[in-house]
Structures are given as structure tokens and as C-alpha cells.
């Protein structure tokens, strides 16, 4: 995983035909200037600052950067296993490789800052920055295509996500959250699914497993202790849900990342 930037005055039109031969997905964010992106289906997209696109492994695309302009982009390399997790959250799709984002959003600053810190971190700090980056990029990808959704729906779901994120180790009941916003649980479920593309229950499970990953990487607790701390009845239940979400057991997940 890594982060890079490109910035400068483009005097002559740039034509780049690229084929991503790595096993990583690359998220390119245009921060300044205009370009035309032709995706792997041959469809052209006119892009400007506030747009981005994916470089997908083993698929070609064309990028044409207009002349006589300042052009800036940030590019973030995302290993395939992490990208597949992002996709599970409804945050991305190879079928729609172009995204739109708000340049003024604090989330874009948090994403780029955390990617930079991860790229330059000492080994002992890598797990912390890795999971912070993982969380930010999921939220960024989820929020990149929400322009047609009413703003009050976005605000409501944002507040619900904060509640869920801050009650990961608590046995909170989802209908009680709806009562706090004075709306029916059915209505909240519908709005949440509209925005996040997954249910509240699914989001809660994924958030819990993501937090468990952080605890695993910190290596301060063993699997039995993590299961107890997270409120699971036993380590078997925790491992079963972890494997369902990540495709591997907690032991194998940790081994794959560290060795």
C-alpha cells in the first residue's frame, strides 16, 4: 500500500495508454486540472478536479491530459485483499471505475494524511495506520457517489455510523438507535441501506471485525481475549464470524499480513 502525488504545468497534451500489470488496485484522484479517461469498456469520461478513477489489475485504460494547464493528482495503491474488502462494503465496483468526491471534505484530507503516515511509518506503527487508512478509504469510496441522495439522509446515516462505530464492544440494540432519532426502525433501515448499500446489521458486523483486525495487529491480546473483549460468547463464535467476513481465520489472517 502506498501514496504518490503528481503536479505540474502541462504544456503539451499528454496521452497515456496504461495497463495495470500489478496485483494492486490504484485509486487516482484528480486534485487540479482536466483530463479524459477511457475505461476498459472503451467508454470516455471527461474528468476534472473532484473526480477520480480506478486502475484495475490486468485491464487497460487511456488517460488524456489537456494542454496549457496545471494538473495535479494523488494515487493510492490498494492491495487486492483490501480492495475486495472495500468492495464488500459496497464502496466500489470495477463496472463503474469513475468516482466523484468533494474536494472540500475533511474526509479527503484524512484519507491522504493517513495514507502518507502509513507510507512513512515505523514498523511498530504500521498496524494502527493501516486500519485507520482502511476505515477512511471505505468511507471515502462509499460516499463518492451519493450526489442524488437527499442531504438529510446522508446526515442521518453519518450520525448512525458514528454511534455504531463508538459502540463496537457494547450490546447495543439497533431499534433503540431509531428511537433516538424519533423515526421508525423500518424507516431508518431503509434510509441506511439507500446510503450505505448494506444493512445496519451488516455494517455493525463489518465494523466489529475491522476493529478486531486492529486488535489482532496490535498483538496486545490473544484471540480468546479479543473475543471476550468484543462481547462474543467464546473464541469459536468470534473466529466463525471473522472467517465469514474475511475468508480466513484470525490466526491465518494475522500470519498472512505479518509473514
pLDDT in tens, 145-165: 555 566 778 788 888 988 998
Cell numbers 484522484: residue? 29
* Residue of 26, 25, 55 lying closest to 39 (CA atoms): 55
Share of the chain above pLDDT 90, in %: 24
Mean pLDDT score across all residues of the chain: 80
Which class for 257: exposed (0-12), middle (13-18), buried (19 or more C-beta within 10 A)?
middle
pLDDT-derived band at 184, boundaries 50, 70, 90: very high
**Can you give the pLDDT at residue 226?**
92
CA distance 85 to 79: 10
pTM of this structure: 0.54
Lowest mean pLDDT among 4-8, 112-116, 212-216, 247-251: 112-116
**Can you give the pLDDT at residue 133?**
65
pLDDT tens digits for range 45-65? 999 988 888 888 778 889 999
Find out whether 37 and 47 touch, Cβ atoms under 8 Å: yes
pLDDT-derived band at 68, boundaries 50, 70, 90: very high
Tell me the mean pLDDT in the region 15-41: 83
Tell me the mean pLDDT in the region 179-202: 89
**Can you give the pLDDT at residue 67?**
92
Answer whether residue 215 shows pLDDT above 80.
yes
CA distance 100 to 133: 19
Lowest mean pLDDT among 28-32, 35-39, 106-110: 106-110
Q: CB pairs under 8 A, 24+ apart, for 237-245?
A: 238/212, 241/205, 241/208, 241/209, 242/209, 242/212, 245/88, 245/205, 245/206, 245/209
Answer whether residue 39 shows pLDDT above 60.
yes
pLDDT tens digits for range 198-212? 899 998 998 888 888
Tell me the mean pLDDT in the region 218-225: 87
> Structural domains in the chain?
2-125 (2.60.120.810), 151-258 (1.10.10.60)
pLDDT tens digits for range 3-24? 778 888 998 998 988 766 666 7
pLDDT-derived band at 195, boundaries 50, 70, 90: confident
Amino acid at each position: 500500500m502506498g501514496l504518490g502525488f503528481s503536479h505540474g504545468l502541462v504544456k503539451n497534451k499528454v496521452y497515456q495508454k496504461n495497463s495495470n500489470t500489478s496485483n494492486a488496485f490504484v485509486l487516482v484522484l484528480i486534485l487540479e486540472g482536466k483530463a479524459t479517461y477511457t475505461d476498459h469498456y472503451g467508454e470516455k469520461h471527461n474528468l476534472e478536479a473532484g473526480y477520480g478513477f480506478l486502475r484495475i489489475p490486468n485491464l487497460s485504460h487511456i488517460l488524456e491530459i489537456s494542454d496549457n494547464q496545471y494538473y495535479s493528482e494523488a494515487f493510492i495503491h490498494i492491495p487486492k485483499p483490501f480492495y475486495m474488502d472495500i468492495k464488500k462494503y459496497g464502496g466500489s465496483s470495477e463496472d463503474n471505475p469513475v468516482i466523484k468526491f468533494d474536494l472540500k471534505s475533511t474526509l479527503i484530507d484524512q484519507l491522504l494524511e493517513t495514507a502518507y503516515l502509513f507510507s512513512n511509518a515505523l514498523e511498530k506503527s504500521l498496524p494502527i495506520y493501516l486500519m485507520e487508512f482502511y476505515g477512511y478509504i471505505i468511507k471515502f469510496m462509499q460516499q463518492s457517489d451519493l450526489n442524488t441522495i437527499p442531504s438529510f439522509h446522508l446526515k442521518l446515516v453519518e450520525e448512525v455510523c458514528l454511534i455504531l462505530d463508538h459502540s463496537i464492544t457494547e450490546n447495543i440494540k439497533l431499534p433503540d438507535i431509531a428511537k433516538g432519532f424519533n423515526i421508525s426502525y423500518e424507516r431508518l433501515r431503509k434510509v441506511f441501506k439507500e446510503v450505505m448499500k448494506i444493512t445496519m446489521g451488516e455494517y455493525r458486523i463489518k465494523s466489529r471485525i475491522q476493529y478486531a483486525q486492529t486488535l489482532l495487529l496490535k498483538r496486545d491480546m490473544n484471540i480468546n481475549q479479543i473475543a471476550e473483549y468484543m462481547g462474543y460468547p467464546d473464541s469459536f463464535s468470534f473466529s466463525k464470524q471473522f472467517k465469514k467476513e474475511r475468508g480466513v481465520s484470525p490466526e491465518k489472517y494475522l500470519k498472512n499480513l505479518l509473514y
